[in-house]
Amino acid sequence: MPYLLKRVINSVLLLLITVSFVFFACRMIGDPALNMLGPGANDIALENLRRAAGLNDPLWLQWVRYMGGLLQGDFGVSYRYGFSVIPEADLKDIGVPVVDLVAERLPATFLLAGVAMAIAVPLGLGMGVIAAAYPRHFADRLVTVLSLAGVSIVQFWLGLMLIVLFAVQLGWLPTGGYGEPGHVILPALTLAARPIGRIAQVARSAMLDELAKPYVVTARAKGVAEWRVILLHALRNAAIPIITMIGDELSALLTGAILVEKIFAWPGIGLLIIDSLSRSDLPIIQVSITVVAALVIIVNLLVDFAYRIIDPQIKLGQKA
């Protein structure tokens, strides 16, 4: 337990540092009131906002207030959300609570990441296991080449190429959007390419290591069917590096989704980040980046916990 507790404390600390870094960095790039109301805002409105939001207070006090707000679920408001370009003079009278905007986007990102992983895990695992079961065979070579290709490809470019082929040329699937089952296919395939490659690589090498071990020889000598040796004996022991890679890829997926969501106009949190960055909508930027960083940190933590469950013998904390 001490190790896990230490990991949790470390993660919370890391999150705290990240949130503060994002907060202070956002303050570095200019007057937050001007940013929130846009370049056309008049002086009275700016001064009112500064007074109302406490922007005249010392920075550390604002930081304390911001962190306190986050803890209470108050993520600030955005005055610019919904404008396609930076607003000239008129603004929404009432800001949109950022927490609603982010919460509204999360299901789409989770759906996309979930479908991509549902494609990538069985496919990558299957490819890796087949390659390891038939070393130096044609299938092994094919898997090696495909997994290298999956790792080397530019994700967003693959997405664009899939659009050209399946949406523009063949017209089978929509170029982008959200809501119908057909919409998720192309973005999920795009996102899955890299994890397929990496999972296949790791599964292959972990399985090769396991299949060379004495217990496999024993099992085979006892006359255990080859598929049982591979799936029930070796795969179980090869699970740890594979799980690590799946966890790594899941957190990479959450950030990789930024580009894929942009390409396919998929209304997830990645698209929200890109849109807010191009609008310089600081309240949303702060929160959405914090949320994604938090998700990644949580996934990393869960992977560490998963070790324990898979292999109770593992001694965490002795990484050296």
Partner 1 sequence: MADLSNPAIEDVIDPKDERENFSDYLRALKRDKITAAAMLFLLALLAFTVGAEFLAPHKPTGLNLADRMLPPFSTGKKGLFYLLGTDELGRDLFTRLIYGARVSVSVGLLGATLSCFFGVIAGLTAGYYGGLYEDLVMRFVDGMLSLPSLLVALFVLFILGGGFANLILVFAVLHWMVFARMSRGLALAARSKTYVVAAKAMGASGRRIVFRHILPNVVAPILVLYTLEVAILILSEASLSFLGFGVQPPDPSWGLMIADGREHIRSAWWLVAFPGLAIFLTALCLNLVASWVRAVTDPAQRWRWFAIGNGGRG
- Give residues with Cβ within 8 angstroms of 175, minimum separation 6: 163, 167, 168, 264
Q: Name residues contacting partner 1, limited to 99-138 (CB under 8 A).
A: none
Using CB under 8 A, pick the residue from 262, 268, 272, 281 that binds partner 1: 262
d(CA 290, CA 295): 9
Nearer to partner 1, 168 or 170 (CB): 168
Using CB under 8 A, pick the residue from 50, 176, 216, 248 that binds partner 1: 248
- Say whether residue 316 binds partner 1 (CB under 8 A): no
Count the site residues for partner 1 by CB under 8 A.
Answer: 55
Taking the CB of residue 157, how many other CB atoms lie within 10 A of it? 12
The identity of residue 69, as a single letter, is G
d(CA 45, CA 51): 10
Q: Smallest distance from the beta carbon of 195 to partner 1, in angstroms?
A: 9
d(CA 253, CA 114): 10
Q: Smallest distance from the beta carbon of 3 to partner 1, in angstroms?
A: 14
Q: Smallest distance from the beta carbon of 105 to partner 1, in angstroms?
A: 15
Using CB under 8 A, pick the residue from 189, 201, 281, 284 that binds partner 1: 201
Nearer to partner 1, 21 or 134 (CB): 21
The identity of residue 58, as a single letter, is P
d(CA 157, CA 210): 36
- Provide the sign of the torsion angle of the four alpha carbons 291, 272, 100, 191, taken in this order: negative
Q: Name residues contacting partner 1, limited to 58-77 (CB under 8 A).
A: none
Q: Name residues contacting partner 1, limited to 132-191 (CB under 8 A).
A: 148-149, 151-158, 160-161, 163-164, 168
- Say whether residue 22 binds partner 1 (CB under 8 A): yes
Nearer to partner 1, 6 or 228 (CB): 6
Q: From residue 168, how far is each of 104, 112, 121, 162 by CA, in Å?
A: 30, 22, 29, 9
The contact mask relative to partner 1 for 271-310 (x = CB under 8 A, - = no) is: --xx--xx------x---x--xx--xx--x----------
Q: Smallest distance from the beta carbon of 301 to partner 1, in angstroms?
A: 9
Instruction: Kindly give the residue spans of alpha helices, DSSP state H, lying in 153-238.
Output: 155-162, 181-211, 214-221, 226-228, 235-237
d(CA 273, CA 63): 22
Q: Smallest distance from the beta carbon of 295 to partner 1, in angstroms?
A: 9
Q: Are 14 and 297 in contact (CB under 8 A)?
A: yes
Residue 204 C-beta-side C-alpha neighbours within 13 Å = 26
Q: Smallest distance from the beta carbon of 43 to partner 1, in angstroms?
A: 26
Among the listed residues 273, 248, 257, the one whose alpha carbon sits nearest the alpha carbon of residue 115: 257
Tell me which residue has tokens 């390891």.
132
Nearer to partner 1, 26 or 70 (CB): 26
Write out the residues near partner 1 by the rule CB under 8 A: 10-11, 14, 17-18, 22, 25-26, 28-29, 148-149, 151-158, 160-161, 163-164, 168, 194, 198, 201-202, 205, 241, 244-245, 248-249, 251-252, 254-256, 258-259, 262, 273-274, 277-278, 285, 289, 292-293, 296-297, 300, 320
